[in-house]
Amino acid sequence: MTRAELDKRPADVASMFDGIADRYDLVNDVISLGQDRLWRRATVQAVDAYSGELVLDLAAGTGTSSESFTRKGARVVACDFSQGMLRVGARRRGGASRRGVTFVAGDALSLPFADETFDAVTVSFGLRNTNDCDRALRELRRVTKVGGRLVVCEFSHLPVGALDRVYGTYLMGALPKIARLATDRTEAYEYLSESIMDWPDQRALAQRLIGAGWESVAWRNLTFGVVALHRGHRRR
């Protein structure tokens, strides 16, 4: 399996996720101690999609969370650039377009959708894996309708420096070992640890959303800042 580095070459990142697709959801549960379910639930609540809306779930992986956006009648496009993830998701659901969710292959830096297509766009634990975060945020804004909204759920940093350093030690040392309990493809989780440590904090990411043209940007911490939910709107 290809092990992606912090330059995040798209082919390497996609190949890495292809290699862990079958056990991806299980390993996420293990390494987060089940917290990933709470984080995804908070994302669904923040998006608050309703009947008649079309939602883009970018970096959707196997589509585990995508169906949750359909509960009030919205339709969802689950988009990812890992063909392996999409194949696993489609197989589990019995097809590439079922129960309000359609799987589409696509690159976050050049989304295969027309301008102003979606009422809401969201990306969970995927913005960090692009090699141009600012361009991805601009692309998300391009495909969002005027009046639409963005929700980003991503790993972040604990607000207390000393605690964040302890957390960093856990990420670099313990997380790949815990992942080994569920998979032998630990290279992906070494990359995960490094990419989280290299990722901007909450305030810095908010500034990048603003720089990409999003307005009314705000964030809130989940699990003491291990994860942050950022929200923005397209006003014009």
Identify whether the C-beta of residue 125 lies closer than 8 Å to the C-beta of residue 154: yes
- Asked whether residue 78 is marked as a ligand-binding residue, the answer is no
What local confidence, expressed as pLDDT, does residue 192 receive?
80
Q: What are phi and psi of 205, to 5 degrees?
A: -65, -40
Sheet holding 97-98, edge to edge: 97-98, 101-105, 75-80, 54-58, 118-124, 144-155, 227-233, 215-222
Q: What is the mean pLDDT of the chain?
A: 90
Q: What is the largest CA-CA distance in the chain?
A: 48
Q: Is there a binding annotation on residue 43? A: no
Q: pTM above 0.85?
A: yes
For position 1, what pLDDT does the model report?
43
User: Scanning the structure block, which residue is given the tokens 């959303």?
Assistant: 209
Q: What is the pLDDT of residues 114-144, one digit of tens each?
A: 999 999 999 999 999 999 999 999 999 999 9
CA 52 → CA 55, 103, 145, distances in Å? 10, 19, 14
Determine the average pLDDT of the residues in 19-47.
84
- Per the CB < 8 A criterion, the answer to whether 234 and 214 are in contact is yes
Reported as type and span, the H/E element at residue 147 is: strand 144-155
Per residue in 50-95, pLDDT tens? 999 999 999 999 998 999 999 999 999 999 999 999 999 999 989 9
Q: Is 107 annotated as a binding residue?
A: yes
Q: Which helix (H) or strand (E) holds 216?
A: strand 215-222
Q: What's the Cα-to-Cα distance from 128 to each of 57, 102, 136, 152, rounded to whole Å?
A: 15, 23, 10, 10
pLDDT band at 180 (very low <50, low <70, confident <90, very high): confident
Closest by CA to 219, choosing from 235, 208, 199, 205, is: 205
